[in-house]
Each structure stands twice: as structure tokens, then as C-alpha cells.
């Protein structure tokens, strides 16, 4: 094969496949570049926490009374298991890790706080006979407690 035929063949190939060759070359260039490792995002800070069931019931009553048509509201939550705080331990004896603060007080290092598990909820409200109000109340209680709709009862207040 002589040089002129080879050159013409390369030119025809380049005219036909130049876009594909450039795209593959750009892809290979991007793949060969070093990548920065992604750091895990920091967990979001909770602005307000309601820990005790009585506090949660009171907060639910306050929020649900603001639902249009609900009127006065009373809430009862039943628990399967209460919230539990698990502390960090170390060693074979599983000694609790204590932190000493600047005031010389010791506090245990909290590993995690498990929220309470609810069995059911009863909501009594003045607008309990309205289907739209019942639906809004059930959805709000589901969002807060994690219960499904079968475990939430909404009744009309007398």
C-alpha cells in the first residue's frame, strides 16, 4: 500500500468518524483524571425534639387544633416500647464511657437514642365527623408517630 492511498483512507475515516473519535478521547481523558473522594455529609441537627409521650401528646394537640375544622383536640398515644438511650461502652467489661467537662462533671457518652415505638393513637376532636378533617388528622399523626392509618382512630368530640 503506498503512502497516498493510506492518507486518503485516513482522511475518509476521519471525515466519517471524527465525532465518535473525539467523544471517546474526551471520555478517556475524563476517566484518567484524579477524583476527589466524597466525604459523608454531616447529619442534620434536630432543631426541636419532643421526648416524653406527654410532651408529644401536648404538641400534637396544639398542632392538630390548628387544622381547619378540627376545633378542640385531645390526643392519646399508647406505646409498645418507650424510648431508650444506649450509651457507648468499651472493653470486655463493657464499661460506660464517661466524658469529663470543664465543670468537672461527668456525663455518659450517648451512642444512640431510640425513639419510642407506638401501638396506636386515639384523637378526639370537635370536627371528627368531617371526612376531610379526619383524613388531615390521620395523615398528621402518621407523619409524627410512624403509625399506619389502621392504628389511628379519629372520633367526634361531644
Q: State pLDDT tens for residues 142-157.
A: 998 888 999 999 999 8
Per-residue pLDDT, 153 = 92
Per-residue pLDDT, 150 = 92
Q: Which residues pair with 121 in a beta bridge?
A: 77, 152
What is the fold, at CATH topology level, of the domain defined by 53-156?
Answer: GMP Synthetase; Chain A, domain 3 (3.30.300)
Give the residue extent of every domain in the chain.
1-34, 53-156
Per-residue pLDDT, 52 = 59
| C-alpha dihedral sign at 134, 56, 48, 83 | negative
Per-residue pLDDT, 86 = 74
By the 8 A CB rule, do 121 and 77 touch? yes
Per-residue pLDDT, 142 = 92
Distance CA 60, CA 125 (A): 12
Per-residue pLDDT, 35 = 73
Per-residue pLDDT, 140 = 92
Per-residue pLDDT, 30 = 83
Low-confidence ranges of the chain (pLDDT < 50): 42-50
Distance CA 70, CA 129 (A): 9
Amino acid at each position: 500500500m503506498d503512502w497516498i492511498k493510506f492518507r486518503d483512507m485516513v482522511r475518509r475515516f476521519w471525515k466519517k468518524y471524527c465525532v465518535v473519535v473525539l467523544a471517546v478521547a474526551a471520555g478517556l481523558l475524563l476517566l484518567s483524571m484524579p477524583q476527589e473522594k466524597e466525604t459523608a455529609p454531616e447529619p442534620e441537627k434536630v432543631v426541636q425534639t419532643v421526648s416524653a409521650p406527654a410532651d408529644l401528646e401536648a404538641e400534637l394537640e396544639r398542632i392538630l387544633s390548628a387544622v381547619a375544622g378540627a376545633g378542640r383536640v385531645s390526643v392519646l398515644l399508647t406505646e409498645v416500647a418507650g424510648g431508650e438511650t444506649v450509651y457507648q461502652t468499651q472493653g470486655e467489661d463493657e464499661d460506660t464511657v464517661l466524658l469529663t467537662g470543664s465543670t468537672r462533671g461527668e456525663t455518659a457518652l450517648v451512642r444512640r437514642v431510640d425513639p419510642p415505638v407506638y401501638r396506636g393513637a386515639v384523637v378526639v376532636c370537635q370536627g371528627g365527623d368531617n371526612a376531610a378533617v379526619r383524613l388531615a388528622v390521620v395523615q398528621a399523626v402518621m407523619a409524627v408517630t410512624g403509625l399506619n392509618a389502621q392504628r389511628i382512630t379519629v372520633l367526634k368530640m361531644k
